[in-house]
Amino acid sequence: MPLYLTNSAAGALDDEAKKKIADDITRIHCSITGAPPIFVHAFFAQGIPDMPLGDKSVLTFGSIRSGRSDAQKADITGQIRHAVSGHTGIPVEAVDVKIFDTPAHWAMEGGEIMPEPGEEAAWLAAHQDRPEAPVA
Amino acid sequence: MKLGSQAEVRWGEIARNSGYTASKPSTTSVVVLTADTALDQPVRVALLHELVDFWTKGSGCSVDEITAVIGDPVQT
């Protein structure tokens, strides 16, 4: 966690765009929150029943650990909308991003409860052998 | 402790080249469960461990390839 799940209209996102958007989501989330990249999941699908597109072409739900400020969440939302638009040519007005808070203690990764924001050091130290773990 | 009713299960499959963790192709499964009652944290942790054990044994994935969430009921 965070998990950024993106629903899109058919043909809106090709594989190249998904990779670039995933890179940007990871960069944006980490730069704004200070979270380590190892925590960031960016998944893409079409026709997700619980994520109706309405009049949008792309809709991203970000489930992030509780504790981020409203300003941080607005910054994440704005930057991701523009990243998606920039990589696809879809007007930014047709891209929506919604952020949802999830208490860290509700989630488990690597077999352990997720740390609260800013308290990642112990968790990371215990998971240094993960393939995507950051180099110390 | 078990929850009070049969679980409703919904699957979502992520296609190849459509999932990334730390900007790398992801093999992570995300399993999200909403409980039917607010849980004390020790109960939640025990259920999360049970869920992760079940998932890793059933799928063959490692414990590092599962993100599990057990949330309290959504207040509307």
Q: What is the pTM of this model?
A: 0.92
Minimal Cα–Cα distance from A13 to chain B, Å?
10
Cα distances (angstroms) measured from residue A127 to each of A2, A31, A36, A110, A123: 17, 21, 12, 7, 6
Question: Which strand ranges, in their side-by-side order, compose the sheet holding B19-21?
Answer: A95-102, A58-65, A3-8, A41-46, B19-21, B24-25
- For B52, phi then psi, to 5°, come to -65, -45
Amino acid at A94: A
ipTM comes to 0.91
Burial class (CB in 10 A: 0-12, 13-18, 19+), A18: buried
Tell me the per-residue pLDDT of B8-28, one tens digit each, with 9 for 90 and over: 888 888 999 999 999 999 999
Count of Cβ atoms closer than 10 Å to residue A14 Cβ: 11
Task: Search chain B and give the residue with CA nearest A45.
Answer: B14
SS3 A5: strand
Interface residues of B toward A, Cβ cutoff 8 Å, are 10, 12-15, 17-24, 26, 28, 30, 41, 44-45, 48-49, 52, 63-64, 66-72
**Residue B74, pLDDT score:** 78
Mean pLDDT, all residues of chain B: 91
